[in-house]
Amino acid sequence: MYRFKPELRIPGPAPVPPQVSMRVASPMINHRGREFKGMFPCVMERLKPLFGTENSIYMITGSGTSGMEAAVSNLVSPGTPVLCLVGGFFGQRWADLCRAYEGEVHILQCPWDGGIEPAQVGEYLDDHPEIEVIFVVHNESSTGVLNDIKAISAARGNHEALLVVDTVSSLGGARVEMDKWNLDVVISASQKCLMAPPGVAFLSASPRAREKMAQCQSSRYYFDIARYEKFMEKGETPFTPNISNVFALNEALTILEEEGIENTFARHLLMKEMVREGVKALGLELLVEDRFASPTVTAVKLENADAFRENIRVRYGVEFAGGQGPHAGKVFRIGHMGYATPLDMLTTLAVLEIALEKYGAAVTAAELVMNQKN
């Protein structure tokens, strides 16, 4: 394995561009000083177009799950009836967190190889007017499903439940329109499509969600969003933040802005199509059908998937991710998010061809897709 240039084709952490990594090495600054206050609010401001919101964005030092826990601990009191839409490992994490905060957890389960059907959400809500908060994952990284959040939000109709969305593996790689889609809380993290190292999570809340947070009875301290709001007024965070990650995001957002948000989304869609066509040309089976397919991660069925991945990792230095939950050992996942290009997809498919000893088909299929789109 070529340790000097590991090829991460996993659904996060995703590769970090060298110019971003260099910023991480910047000298440390005072998080209560002028320089930080000059930079931090601008970085949060520049995230707003990716969230599709005018609401404030708060940064929590912690991994993506800290953003999830912040959402739950500020909205779920003991006994709060909540609905978790579960179609994979991270949907299940919403349910686990809601249980940890003693919510009355309802689960709408969908198969772990498909997306959540908005009509079913509407029906469930019709039968359960008591539900106060719905939790869903936009891009279920464990299966490679992109859920239709706009339609799920609309399926609420006149029901008053708040909608909380995990965009950890989609924000910056797929369209998120918090305000237009009427989403109440959106959380995300630094280490996937945002091209920064792991270490910070983000949370944005609608005015309606802020009202509910103010009434929430659950104990919280580090995750108390009211503290983040108060300190944001001064351009600060309540606790010492991951300052290096703010340097990194500052640079990563410049790269994304130079590419242009629509071009970024188009690049992710192109990579998705190349990978899907290439994998099919190899005679392998995709876990999810086209209508649910994620632009940032693709799951592929394969017996002995873990041995196959390990062989590729050792021989070629390319890392794919394994299956999770019921797919453990039977699926491998290809990450195509953030700092990744169509050329990377050609090399990714070439490695699969070599490992499967099926030369030619996958790269040709992917090239056809690429040429059609360019």
The DSSP symbol for 27 reads P
Closest CA to 133 of 208, 191, 207: 208
Minimum distance of ligand PLP from residue 138's CB (angstroms): 7
Residue type, 195: M
Minimum distance of ligand PLP from residue 196's CB (angstroms): 12
Nearer Cβ to ligand PLP (12/338): 12
**In contact, 323 and 329? CB cutoff 8 Å:** yes
Minimum distance of ligand PLP from residue 144's CB (angstroms): 11
Alpha-carbon 70 to chain mean position:
16
Nearer Cβ to ligand PLP (64/103): 64
Nearer Cβ to ligand PLP (90/332): 90
What stretch of H or E contains 265? helix 261-281
* Residue with smallest beta-carbon separation from ligand PLP: 64
Nearer Cβ to ligand PLP (90/247): 90
* Cα dist from 265 to 147, 149, 172, 259, whole Å: 16, 16, 8, 10
Minimum distance of ligand PLP from residue 145's CB (angstroms): 10
Nearby residues of 102 by Cβ (< 8 Å), 6 or more positions away: 76, 77, 78, 79, 218
Minimum distance of ligand PLP from residue 187's CB (angstroms): 8
Closest CA to 67 of 188, 231, 247: 188
Nearer Cβ to ligand PLP (172/198): 198
Residues that bind ligand PLP in the complex, under the rule CB under 6 A: 11-12, 63-65, 90, 137, 139, 141, 166, 168-169, 189, 198
Minimum distance of ligand PLP from residue 110's CB (angstroms): 15
Nearer Cβ to ligand PLP (84/168): 168
